Chains A and B, each alone.
Chain A
C-alpha cells in the first residue's frame, strides 16, 4: 500500500520559515516525480512545486518562486519543501503527491496545515 505522510506544518509568523517533509513508502520512490499542492481554507487546489525523479529538475509556481525550494532525498524516500519569507496568503493545507510523469499525480498524502499569522 502506498503511503505519503506529510509533517512539519504549524503556526509561523509572517516572514518566517518552515520546512515540510513527506515520507513515502510502498512505492519505488526514486522512480516517481513528486509534487506539492496546497489548498487555502475553503478554496480550491493550487499547484506549488514539482521535482523530477532524480532531483535534477524542479518547477515552481510564480507565487512561490524565490521563496520556496523543493528537494528530495531518494536514500530516505523523503520529499521536502523549504518555505521562506512566508506570507499570510501561504496559509493552507499542503499536500504531497506522486506521479510517474510530469503531467499528473496518482497518490496523495493527507496533508499538513500551515498557518501564517502574527
Chain B
C-alpha cells in the first residue's frame, strides 16, 4: 500500500517560514491535498491539487510537488497557524485515499 511520510513536528518563530514535507514514492505524479486541523476542530483544506488555494485561505500558504516529495510552505508564520497539518493523495493503483501521519506546527 502507498505510504506518505511526514515529520512529526516543525517549529518556527513568528514571522519566519515553515516548511512541511510529505514524502511518497513518485508523489510528483499524484495530486496532493493539504489539510490544517486545529484542536477540537474539523480539518480544513489549505492547498489542493498540489498548488491551488481555496478561497479564504491566505496567500501565505503555498504548495509544491516534485519527485518523491511534496511541500507545504507557510510564509510569515502567525500564532494562529499553530495546528496539525496532513497531506493526502489518491493512490490510483489501489483506489485508496491515503493520509500522511500529520505534522504538528508549533509557533515559538
Contacts and interface: CB of A to CB of B under 8 A. Distances in A.
Interface residues of A, number: 20
A68 interface: no
A106 B42 CA distance: 12
B97 A47 contact: yes
Given A102-B90, A104-B49, A108-B44, A35 B97 contact: yes
A95 B100 CA distance: 17
**What is the predominant secondary structure among interface residues of chain B facing chain A?**
strand
Contacts, number: 59
A35 B42 CA distance: 14
B35 interface: yes
Interface in A53-73: 59, 61-62
A95 B42 contact: yes
Contacts of B102: 44-45
B8 to A, nearest CB: 10
A106 B48 contact: yes
30 contacts: A37-B97, A44-B99, A44-B101, A45-B37, A45-B43, A45-B99, A45-B102, A46-B99, A47-B88, A47-B99, A50-B97, A59-B95, A59-B97, A102-B90, A102-B95, A103-B33, A103-B90, A104-B31, A104-B33, A104-B45, A104-B49, A105-B45, A105-B88, A106-B45, A108-B42, A108-B43, A108-B44, A109-B42, A110-B42, A111-B42
Interface of B: 1, 30-31, 33, 35, 37, 41-45, 48-49, 54, 84, 86, 88-90, 95-102
